[in-house]
Structure 1
Amino acid sequence: MDLQKRDSAGIVFYRRAPNELQLLVHPGGPYWRNRLEGAWQIPKGAIGSGEAPDAAALREVAEEVGIAVSGPLGPLGTIRQAGGKAFTAFAVEQEIDPASIVSNRFELAWPPLSGTCQSFPEIDAARWLALAEAREAILPSQRPLPTRLRAILGGRDREAGRPWPGRRPRAAHSCRTSPFRFTAHSARFRAARKLQHLRSG
């Protein structure tokens, strides 16, 4: 078995003004439809055979959410996810409008054993979250990454904004077909905003 094909790479997008926030996405499809806490994730995808993790992260982000990375990639290290898969994460400071994200789609036989194939977006919502919110909302196996980012950003603040020694992005090929664009009016986004309102109430 080619273990590299089981590994994945992704990017944590963050911003520091006016408040420090991190971007998480919600996976589409029927299995995730009614899950909110512990379901949101960092945009990521599988590393291809012979592909470098940073190149895979750029490609997958372009394909999954249609985002062109504009800054240097800062390494966040590798974590081990449920099932034993390794996930190599990077971080980049970039402003993104969640409503502008465009996701590609996948096909799934649904309902099971029905013989009917349906199309679902890989990502059906995206949100900027504060660190405390991200820890609750994110997939448990990815929970160390927001904390790692906070520790790194704290160090950078103390060093008076010294640039992150990351890698400059290389061009990523996007092969989206049948794109899905969601807005602030989508059902998943409304549910997420309702959950946020209840927490803050």
Structure 2
Amino acid sequence: AKKLIEVHPGPPQTEVTVTDSGREVIEEGFPEEVILDRIQKDPALTIAKLREGVSDPATISKAIGDLKSQGIISILEGGILSVTGKLPESLVRSFDLIRAIAREGTILLESLPPEDRELLEGQSRKRGKGKGILRLDSRDTRCFSLIPGQVDIADLDIEEGALGAVTPEMLQNKTYKGKRFRPYSLET
């Protein structure tokens, strides 16, 4: 029974999962969304007031800088924040993808359209690096194939509906009666 199959290296696959810090971000809300929501609820919101109510003021400061550079918010006299635009569709899409991954647990990066892959790669970290929201793990895959000429599938006595191993449930329910079993040999 040896030398019946060949193992071929397959294409690497990249698994995407949400990190622990990513789960915290999802629970608390993405900083950009939190900032815009708080500004809309309180038009007199200042940077200082915004930083008071958060667990990581550095993240909020970075998000404020990003939003300001994109022209989504402006800082008025006295440090009052004002909304001047809306979040880019690409950022909203990446937030939606991250939430979907958190619900699914793990997805394959290769199963996504190229534009979604780019969005997620910008939010990710490789194993052991930094504090990213997503983690990308590359996995090697293998493909198995029968060696030509060793076994002809037509020669195999494969019967549709034939039973393999008998389970305790089959013995108890007697569902094995009247059925055929797959051939079994101790010599192969």
Q: Same fold (TM over 0.5)?
A: no
Q: Higher Cα Rg: structure 1 or 2?
A: 2
Q: TM-score, normalising length from structure 1?
A: 0.20
TM norm structure 2 = 0.21
Q: Greater helix percent: which structure?
A: 2
